[in-house]
A and B are shown apart, each in its own frame.
Chain A
Amino acid sequence: MTQAEKELRFQEKIDREIKIEPNDWMPDEYRQTLVRQISQHAHSEVVGMLPEGNWITRAPNLRRKAVLLAKVQDEAGHGLYLYSAVETLGTSREQTIDDLHSGKAKYSSIFNYPALTWADIGTIGWLVDGAAIMNQVALCRTSYGPYARAMVKICKEESFHQRQGYESLIKLCNGTPQQKAMAQDAMNRFWWPALMMFGPSDAESTHSDQSIKWKIKRFTNDELRQSFVDATVPQAEILGLTIPDSNLKWNEERGHYDFSEIDWNEFWQVVKGNGPCNKERLAARVKAKEEGAWVREAASAFAKKRAMKKSA
């Protein structure tokens, strides 16, 4: 079969909604796109543990402490599911993580913003996980089998993440004026970064067309961003929080909310590494890996010794 015929057959499978599995033939570019996207997603889960992890020791009561711990723990699990999906494409977890640490691979920029107050924890659950879920639900039907299966598992577990965040904000918004102000302040800081999570606008996005054709992505960045705004505005109203955008209003004709243009300059600056916490986040991950090296080596050495004893 020629390369062109193989590609044709591959696209036919995609069009007929047949999932692609690890050993199937796939175009190199499809594989590369997946490795890039899934590992970026995996890194986001793991780096995403850091801003929230900061608050585990300071959670205001035991229930919130347990919930936050369980949530951040889930994120480690999600990172692990996704690294496993990358491994089915022939790239080891070690390699994938090295690419993150060398700065070659990216992760979601949202985690380069600091978590400054307890309200940020609720807001991250509500807005950041809310935006992530918007993306992830769409990915449950992605064309690559292992990725789709990982996403199904992740979506199932994520559903509590957004709810716990919203519930925590309800407490603040129905609490003292000081608590309400804390929630509004968090909203002001996280709204725009949350909208940026959907990535560059469709006009600017380099990978979008091909990814849609291959059904890696089912919706464009702008479509998902719009769905998120439409879903979130009424939730903010119930909380009594103001969305920091004076142009935000319902457009009867479109059947959607209109909103202001994102500050793309800020977006690209943070992507390039100039966000408030880029350095700290990466440094924390590198440190964990380096300081854990002797632990991983010890366990490997022990396993080898025991195996030798057994065969001796």
Chain B
Amino acid sequence: MMEQSALFEYVLRMSDDSLILAQRLGEWCGHGPILEEDIALTNISLDLIGQAISLYDLAADLEGKGRNHDQLAYMRYEQEYKNVLLVEQPNGDFAMTMLRQFFFDAFRLPLYEALMQSPVEQLAAIAAKSVKETRYHLKHSSEWVIRMGDGTDESHKRAQDAIDHLWRYTHELFYVDAIDHALLADGKIPNMETIQAKWMTTVTSILQEATLEIPKNNWKFEGGREGRHSEHMGYLLADLQYMQRAYPNMEW
């Protein structure tokens, strides 16, 4: 039972990452730098919503309290969301959005690849489906990081500014606590250190190709995994939950 609830918490964290990032990317729809990229960002958002639905369904199953994916996605208080701070950060300019996406994709891909081996069958199945989507996301965000970094002086500066700003949130991607330790001990989830090493390899090589630099300042922000969010989260949830809060208990 203990383990069931640890797994619930673990899956919930992943679900929230997907949902909150999808929500942010959805804000771009209709405002992209060119129509083709508008469509691309929307596609990534749609993939993430799909992943969130599968993950919430699994979380709901594990919890066994009869909640469905919408109740989990829409009906919790801010402190109950366990996404990393990185994904809730505002879109900013296209560089900020793409760097945020790149840092996340470079983390998600090795995570899904490893989770495909998980003995938790449903989780392995979700990972197997999502890994293809995520591989494409990482390809797309990497292409853009390289183009911005090695494009014009302005794009280089914007990309570097985005890295300098977002770097403090990347450490939290590899956050582990008692929940992770318990699941790792049971062989249910991969070791975060391995994921982090792969992340670092990807980030180093892409940033190098992009002529961008890893910041020296290693200040770290975290709290999202424990439900302590940045100020941006409240506004994001006010939008996300608006209909469910304003018109409770109705079907749409």
Interface string of B66-100 (1 = CB under 8 A from A): 00011001100000000000000000011000000
Q: Taking the complex as formed, is B50 at the interface, i.e. its CB lies under 8 A from any CB of chain A?
A: yes
Over the window 50-63 of chain B, the binary record of Cβ atoms lying under 8 Å from chain A Cβ atoms (1 yes, 0 no) is 10110010000000
- Whether B94 lies near A73 (C-beta < 8 A) is no
By Cβ-Cβ distance, the 6 closest A-B pairs, closest first, are A292-B33, A298-B151, A298-B155, A60-B243, A53-B30, A49-B30
Q: A296 and B34 in contact (CB under 8 A), knowing A62-B70, A69-B46, A176-B250?
A: yes
Q: Is the CB of B37 within 8 A of A295?
A: yes
Considering the complex, give the chain A residue whose CB is closest to the CB of B247: A178
Residue A151 at the chain B interface, CB threshold 8 Å? no
Say what secondary structure dominates the interface of chain B: helix
Stretch at the interface among B106-114, B116-124, B132-140, B142-150: B142-150
Residue B152 is within 8 A (CB to CB) of chain A in the complex? yes
**Looking at the complex, which of B2-10, B21-29, B215-223 is the stretch in contact with chain A?**
B21-29
Task: Say yes or no for A305: interface residue by CB 8 A criterion.
Answer: yes
Given A62-B70, A62-B73: A302 in contact with B151 (beta carbons within 8 A): yes
> Is B252's CB under 8 angstroms from A69's CB?
no
Map CB proximity to B onto A95-116 as digits: 1 under 8 Å, 0 otherwise.
Answer: 0000000000000000000000
Q: Are B152 and A297 in contact (CB under 8 A)?
A: yes
- CB atoms of B35 and A72 under 8 A apart: no
Q: A73 with B244: in contact, given A64-B252, A302-B151 (CB under 8 Å)? A: no
Contact of B46 among A64, A66, A287 (CB under 8 A): A66
* Cβ-defined contact, A295 with B247, below 8 A: no
Cβ of A168 within 8 Å of any chain B Cβ, yes or no, is: yes
Per-position binary interface string of chain B over residues 216-243, scored 1 when its CB falls under 8 Å from any chain A CB and 0 otherwise: 0000000000000000000000011011
Query: Roughly how many angstroms separate A89 CA and B73 CA in the complex, as a whole number?
Result: 48
Q: Do the beta carbons of B29 and A60 come within 8 Å of each other?
A: no
Shortest C-beta distance, A307 to chain B (Å), equals 13
Establish whether residues B50 and A66, one from each chain, have CB atoms under 8 Å apart when the complex forms.
yes
Task: Let me know if A60 and B252 touch, CB within 8 A.
Answer: yes
- Contact in complex: A69, B29 (CB < 8 Å): yes
Interface membership of B154, Cβ < 8 A:
yes
Q: What are 17 residue pairs bridging A and B, where the CB atoms are less than 8 Å apart in the complex?
A: A49-B29, A56-B27, A57-B27, A57-B239, A62-B19, A62-B52, A65-B49, A66-B53, A70-B46, A72-B30, A73-B38, A80-B39, A172-B252, A298-B154, A299-B147, A301-B151, A305-B150
Checking B43, B70, B152, B251 against A73 with a beta-carbon cut-off of 8 angstroms, the contacting residue is B43
Q: Is the CB of B53 within 8 A of A62?
A: yes
Report A-chain residues with C-beta under 8 Å of the C-beta of B23: 57
Look across to chain A and name the residue whose beta carbon is closest to the beta carbon of B157.
A294
- In the complex, the answer to whether A296 meets B43 with C-beta atoms within 8 Å is no
- The number of chain B residues with a CB under 8 A from chain A is 48
Tell me if B31 counts as interface (CB < 8 A to partner A): yes
Q: Is the CB of B154 within 8 A of A294?
A: yes
What is the 8 Å Cβ interface bit string for chain A, positions 46-67, against chain B (1 contact, 0 not)? 1001100100111111111110
In the complex, are the beta carbons of B243 and A53 less than 8 A apart?
no
Q: Interface code A132-144, partner B: CB below 8 Å = 1, 0 otherwise? A: 0000000000000
Q: Does A284 contact B (CB under 8 A)?
A: yes
A residues adjacent to B (C-beta < 8 A): 46, 49-50, 53, 56-66, 69-70, 72-73, 76-77, 79-80, 83, 118, 168, 171-172, 175-176, 178-179, 284, 287-288, 291-302, 305
B31 touches A284 (CB 8 A): yes
Report yes or no: A295 in contact with B52, Cβ–Cβ below 8 A. Answer: no
Specify which chain B residues have a CB less than 8 angstroms from the CB of A175 in the assembled complex.
250-251
CA distance A79 to B49 in the complex (A): 24
Partner of A284, one of B30, B34, B252: B30
Contact A72 B29 (CB under 8 A): yes
Tell me the minimal C-beta distance from B21 to chain A in angstroms. 13
A302/B239 in contact, CB under 8 A: no
Q: How far is B26's CA from A59's CA once the two chains are assembled, in angstroms?
A: 11
Asked if A73 and B33 sit within 8 Å, CB to CB, the answer is no
Task: Tell me if A65 and B26 are in contact (CB < 8 A).
Answer: yes
List B contacts of A300 (CB < 8 A): 151
Q: Which of A57, A63, A172, A296 contacts B33 (CB 8 A)?
A: A296
Give Cα A292 to B148, complex, Å.
12
**In whole angstroms, what is the CA distance A179 to B251 when docked?**
9
Question: From A293, which residue of chain B is reached at the shortest CB distance?
Answer: B33
Cβ-closest chain B residue relative to A179:
B250
Cα-based distance from A118 to B247 in the complex (angstroms)? 11
Closest to A56 in B: B26
Given contacts A61-B73, A298-B155, 10 further A-B contacts (CB under 8 A): A56-B26, A60-B244, A62-B69, A64-B252, A73-B46, A178-B247, A179-B247, A179-B250, A293-B33, A301-B151
| B155 in contact with A76 (CB, 8 Å) | no
Which B195-223 residues have C-beta < 8 A from chain A?
A: none
Which chain A positions have C-beta within 8 A of B30? 46, 49-50, 53, 72, 76, 284, 288
Complex: chain A residue closest to B156, CB-CB: A298
Q: Is the CB of B31 within 8 A of A288?
A: yes
Which chain B residue shows the least CB distance to A303? B147
CA distance A282 to B51 in the complex (A): 35
Q: Cα distance A60–B241 when bound, in Å? A: 7
Nearest opposing residue in chain A for B53, CB measure: A62
A302 touches B146 (CB 8 A): yes
